[in-house]
Amino acid sequence: MPEDDFPTVSEALVTALEGRFPDRAPTMTASEREVWASVGRAEVVRFLRAKLEQQKEDALQ
């Protein structure tokens, strides 16, 4: 998918995902699999936050 074709990301979605999947250090008892799953979720939320900010900037131009 070309970068320009990315769907609009809403503030409500990103905020909800940030609350549901907070970007925090894993617990000491987390398995390696749980750690990597947590990293993946946080990465997706950060990506969507960046897309939202980019869309806001593009709207101002």
Prediction pTM value: 0.86
User: What is the tally of structural domains in the chain?
Assistant: 1
**Is residue 44's pLDDT more than 70?**
yes
pLDDT digits (tens, 9 = 90+) for 5-25: 899 999 999 999 999 999 999
pLDDT at 5: 85
pLDDT surpassing 70 at residue 34: yes
Q: Cα(first)–Cα(last) distance of the chain, in Å? A: 23
| 3-state secondary structure at position 19 | helix
- For residue 34, the enclosing domain spans 3-60
Q: Does 2 have pLDDT greater than 90?
A: no
Identify which of 61, 18, 59, 60 has the alpha carbon closest to the alpha carbon of residue 41. Answer: 18
